């Protein structure tokens, strides 16, 4: 896997070949890499899902210990008393919240149970949920649900339990604010780097090129309309 | 470096045909005209240097890199009198540089040093040895006080600051210099000299801070840190008592320009439109093309 150092400086070197007097810093290039890179990852996963009805774990991120919270008062999207977690990363945006691959919690002691002996949360949405219509649908600790509101994940069925954290597997976008070092791994696979670079250079070319008639050169370019000429009748006619 | 004696010989033998004569004296004619020639050169080259920040090898004898420690307000003043040199123009500012310190050992760090040091390359280099006291006066540094660090030599830097204007709102825009990201992605900026001190008419108990030297450079994002500054120093005035071994801090390639301009000043002093005046000014113009 390539490092951000290689990807960022590769793009920066190329942009500076053309725009050597522009102020371009590493974070700006990282921003380009993250936005275009996330787009490429989403397109890649969309295509894969269309072909196979699955999405590879290649771009999956696991967050093993996301703490469950509650709030005593309503605030924005937060509802008092409901158990929730905040998404620990920015999700890629897929249909039916498919960016959330799974959410689980461990029953009993977290040390003595095998890794996959966990309870998985089923996905629902507030709009279509009719969870009390059938007994087998009823949210319970063995049959819990989650639903997504913005960047908040609410849980149903674990209200009366002492579960304090969940494990989440998410398809996440590249968050430039979460990159802590140039030597972090860039999740874009090598075969997409050329496409990433092409799109960033195109974006840079568009952003950095200012048409000459838009450059402020300090000259007064106000166009004064010419004085209206008064037509005189030809006396000979 | 150019020997003053060489320029004097050139002026006497080539320009004035006055070798062995007491018509032109070193302390009255030669040294003042060479001093005036250097001042004129500083003025001419300032336009070039200020515009492009590009230092040709013409000024290599005047280039220096020294290290300062900023105040908690992220500012430092050069304190030219205490440091022993004057800054002509700043060519590079490198925040958080790696520095070489003779005899440096991480264990048993001397008391004046307050920060944990990250050593490198055989324990001879470090990048955060901040001190508590002023290098010259020894006073404990208050939050608005910076200090020169004469015991450190610049080795390398991971960051170089770009010059920003007073109008740039550094620290708010993540894509501009001055916004604090993680270290690898932080772009540093510096504002050139400004006087931030203030005298409170109501008394010293309330109000702004005072400094002996009031020209400060500010680094963004803010913090108390080491800063390596590369700059061109102002060439010192040649003392009247300078002897044959005195060296002028310009490279040999500038010899002709300095000598011809000095000759030109002598011609001006003679007060007439002599051949020397016309020939020397033509030569100066030729050199500047």
Question: How do the domains of chain A map onto residue ranges?
Answer: 4-208
- Pick the residue from chain A with its C-alpha nearest to B163: A23
Q: Which residues of B touch A180 (CB under 8 A)?
A: 182, 184
CB contact under 8 A, B184 and A25: no
**What local confidence, expressed as pLDDT, does residue B241 receive?**
84
Residue of A nearest to B187 (CA): A25
Q: Report the C-alpha gap between A104 and A124 in whole angstroms.
A: 15
Q: Are residues B95 and B38 in the same domain?
A: no
Percentages helix, strand, coil for chain B, rounded to the nearest 5?
30, 20, 50
Counted across chains A and B, CB pairs separated by less than 8 A come out at 31
Is the same domain home to B118 and B243? Answer: no
Length, in residues, of chain A: 237
A117, two tokens:
């002996």
| CA closest to A183 among chain B residues | B184
The string of pLDDT tens digits covering residues A68-122 is 999 999 988 899 999 999 999 999 999 888 999 999 998 766 566 666 678 999 9
Pair B280, B156 in one domain: no
- Give me B177's structure tokens: 């210099």
Does A180 contact B175 at a Cβ distance shorter than 8 Å? no
Determine the residue among A7, A26, A27 to mutate to test chain B binding: the one whose Cβ has the most chain B Cβ atoms within 10 Å. Answer: A27
Residue that wins the pLDDT comparison between A214 and B181: B181
Contacts of B182 in chain A (CB under 8 A): 179-181
Q: How many of the other CB atoms lie within 10 Å of CB of A233?
A: 6
In this prediction, residue A126 carries a pLDDT of: 77
Q: Are B248 and B238 in contact (CB under 8 A)?
A: yes
Hey, what are B219's tokens?
A: 């680094």
| Alpha-carbon span A79 to A71, nearest angstrom | 7
User: pLDDT value at position A109?
Assistant: 61
Whether A25 sits inside 8 A of B175 (CB atoms) is: yes
Nearest chain B Cα distance for residue A31, angstroms: 9
Same domain assignment for residues B171 and B269: no
Per-residue pLDDT of chain B (289 residues; tens, 9 = 90+): 888 888 888 887 777 777 777 777 777 788 888 888 888 888 777 776 766 656 566 777 888 999 999 999 999 998 888 888 888 888 899 998 888 877 666 555 665 665 555 555 555 666 667 888 898 898 999 999 999 999 889 988 888 999 998 888 778 889 889 999 988 899 999 999 999 988 777 766 677 888 887 889 999 999 889 999 998 888 888 888 888 888 888 888 888 888 888 888 887 777 666 677 777 777 677 666 6
- In a shared domain, residues B160 and B272: no
Q: Which residue range is the domain that position B269 belongs to?
A: 2-54+237-288
Indicate the residue of B174, B176, B184 with minimum beta-carbon distance to A181.
B184
Question: Residue A133 has what pLDDT?
Answer: 67
Do A25 and B177 make contact, defined as CB atoms within 8 angstroms?
yes
Q: Which of A26, A28, A31 sits opposite B184 (nearest CB)?
A: A26
If asked whether residues B24 and B100 sit together in one domain, one would say no
Across chain A, mean pLDDT equals 85
Distance from CA of A112 to the nearest CA of B (A): 39
Give the whole-angstrom CA distance, residue B33 versus residue B52. Answer: 29
Q: From residue A155, how far is each of A104, A151, B175 by CA, in Å? A: 11, 13, 38
Give the minimum alpha-carbon distance from A182 to chain B in angstroms, rounded to a whole number: 6
Classify B106 as helix, strand or coil. Answer: coil
CB–CB contact B185 A27 (8 Å): yes
Q: Do the chains contact at A179 and B182, CB–CB below 8 Å?
A: yes
Given B217, B233, B249, the domain boundary residue is B233
Beta strands in chain B (DSSP E): 2-3, 63-69, 75-77, 87-95, 97-100, 119-120, 125-126, 147-148, 153-157, 162-163, 189-194, 216-220, 226-233, 247-248
Q: Which of A25, A174, A208 to mutate to test the interface with B (most CBs of B within 10 A)?
A: A25
Which two structure tokens, joined as six digits, stand for A34?
């993250």
Ordered strands of the B162-163 beta sheet: B75-77, B216-220, B189-194, B162-163
Cβ burial of B215 (10 Å; 0-12, 13-18, 19+) is middle
For residue A225, pLDDT over 80 is answered with: no
> How far away is chain B from the Cα of A29, in angstroms, using its nearest Cα?
9
- Residues belonging to chain A with any Cβ–Cβ distance to chain B shorter than 8 Å: 23, 25-28, 30-31, 176-177, 179-182
The interface residues of chain B toward chain A in range 159-218, judged by CB-CB distance below 8 A, are 162, 174-177, 179, 181-182, 184-187
Whether pLDDT at A237 is above 60 = no
Same domain, yes or no: B206 and B153: yes
Per-residue pLDDT band for A226 (boundaries 50, 70, 90) equals confident
Report CB contact under 8 Å: B184, A182: yes
Tell whether B48 and B96 lie within a shared domain: no
Q: Which chain B residues are closer than 8 Å to A179 by Cβ?
A: 182, 185
Give the whole-number percent of chain A exceeding pLDDT 90.
47
Give per-residue pLDDT as tens, A151-182: 999 999 998 888 999 999 999 999 999 999 99
Last residue of a domain, one of B186, B210, B233: B233
Cα separations in angstroms, B154 against A199, B84, B86, B101, B112: 40, 18, 19, 9, 20
One domain for residues B173 and B247: no
Q: What is the pLDDT of residues A115-162, one digit of tens each?
A: 667 899 999 887 766 666 677 788 889 999 999 999 999 999 998 888
* B206–chain A nearest CA distance, Å: 41
> Which of B216, B233, B250 is at the close of a domain?
B233
Cβ B165 vs Cβ B83: under 8 Å? no
- Same domain? For B183 and B127 the reply is yes
Interface test with A, best of B179, B181, B185 (most A CBs within 10 A): B185
In sign, the C-alpha dihedral spanning A43, A44, A50, A56 is negative
> In this structure, are residues B96 and B157 in contact, taking their beta carbons and an 8 Å threshold?
yes
Cβ contacts (< 8 Å) between A178 and chain B: which residues? none
Q: How far is A30 from chain B (nearest CA, A)?
A: 9
**What local confidence, expressed as pLDDT, does residue A85 receive?**
96
Tokens representing B62 are 């005047």
Could you give the ipTM of this predicted complex? Answer: 0.74
Q: Tally the domains of chain B.
A: 2
Residues A193 and A11: beta-carbon distance below 8 Å: no
**B53 contacts in A (CB within 8 Å)?**
none
Q: Are residues B26 and B70 in the same domain?
A: no
Query: Which secondary-structure segment (H or E) carries B118?
Result: none
Q: Name the pLDDT band for A232 (thresholds 50, 70, 90).
A: low
User: What pLDDT, on the 0 to 100 scale, is given for residue B213?
Assistant: 79
Tokens, residue A147: 């639903």
Distance from CA of B53 to the nearest CA of A (A): 13
CA gap A32, A201 in Å, rounded: 9
Q: Which residue has the higher pLDDT, A150 or A232?
A: A150
Considering only CB atoms, which chain B residues are within 8 Å of A28? Answer: 175
- Considering only CB atoms, B187 lies closest to which of A25, A177, A182, namely A25
pTM: 0.77
* Cis peptide bond N-terminal to B221, omega within 30: yes
B197 plus B209 within the same structural domain: yes
Residues in CB range of A224: below 8 A, 6 or more apart: none
């Amino acid at each position: 896997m390539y490092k951000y150092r290689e990807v960022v400086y590769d793009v920066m070197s190329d942009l500076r070949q053309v725009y050597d007097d522009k102020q371009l810093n590493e974070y700006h290039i990282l921003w380009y890499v993250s936005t275009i890179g996330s787009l490429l990852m989403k397109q890649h996963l969309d295509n894969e899902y269309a072909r196979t009805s699955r999405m590879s774990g290649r771009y999956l991120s696991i967050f093993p210990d996301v703490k469950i919270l509650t709030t005593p008062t309503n605030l924005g999207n937060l509802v008092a008393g409901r158990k929730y977690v905040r998404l620990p990363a920015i999700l890629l945006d897929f249909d039916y919240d498919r960016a959330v691959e799974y959410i689980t919690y461990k029953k009993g002691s977290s040390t003595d149970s095998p890794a996959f002996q966990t309870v998985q949360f089923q996905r629902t949405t507030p709009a279509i949920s009719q969870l009390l219509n059938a007994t087998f649908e009823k949210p319970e600790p063995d049959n819990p649900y989650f639903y997504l509101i913005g960047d908040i994940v609410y849980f149903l069925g674990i209200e009366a339990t002492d579960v304090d954290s969940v494990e989440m597997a998410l398809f996440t976008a590249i968050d430039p604010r979460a990159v802590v070092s140039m030597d972090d791994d860039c999740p874009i696979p090598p075969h997409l780097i050329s496409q990433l670079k092409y799109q960033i250079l195109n974006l840079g070319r568009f952003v950095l090129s200012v048409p000459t008639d838009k450059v402020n050169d300090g000259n007064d370019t106000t166009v004064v309309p010419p004085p209206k000429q008064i037509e005189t009748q030809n006396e000979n006619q | 470096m150019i020997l003053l004696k060489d320029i004097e010989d050139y002026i006497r033998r080539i320009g004035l045909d006055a070798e062995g004569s007491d018509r032109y004296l070193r302390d009255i004619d030669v040294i003042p005209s060479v001093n005036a020639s250097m001042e004129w050169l500083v003025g001419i080259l300032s336009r070039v240097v200020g515009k492009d920040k590009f230092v040709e090898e013409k000024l290599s004898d005047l280039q220096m890199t020294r290290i300062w420690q900023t105040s908690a307000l992220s500012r430092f003043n050069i304190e030219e009198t205490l440091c022993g040199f004057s800054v002509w123009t700043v060519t590079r500012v490198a925040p958080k540089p790696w520095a070489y310190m003779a005899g440096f050992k991480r264990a048993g760090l001397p008391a004046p040093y307050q920060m944990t040091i990250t050593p490198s390359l055989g324990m001879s280099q470090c990048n955060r040895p901040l001190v508590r006291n002023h290098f010259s006066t020894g006073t404990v540094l208050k939050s608005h006080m910076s200090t020169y660090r004469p015991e450190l030599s610049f080795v390398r830097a991971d960051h170089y600051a770009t010059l920003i204007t007073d109008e740039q709102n550094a620290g708010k825009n993540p894509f501009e210099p001055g916004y604090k990201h993680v270290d690898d992605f932080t772009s540093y900026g510096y504002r050139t000299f400004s006087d931030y001190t203030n005298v409170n008419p109501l008394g010293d108990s309330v109000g702004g801070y005072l400094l002996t030297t009031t020209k400060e450079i500010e680094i963004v994002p803010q913090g108390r840190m080491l800063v390596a500054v590369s700059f061109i120093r102002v060439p010192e005035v040649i003392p009247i008592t300078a002897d044959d071994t005195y060296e002028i801090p310009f490279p040999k390639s500038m010899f002709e320009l300095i000598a011809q301009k000095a000759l030109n000043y002598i011609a001006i002093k003679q007060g007439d439109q002599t051949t020397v005046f016309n020939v020397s000014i033509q030569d100066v113009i030729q050199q500047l093309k």
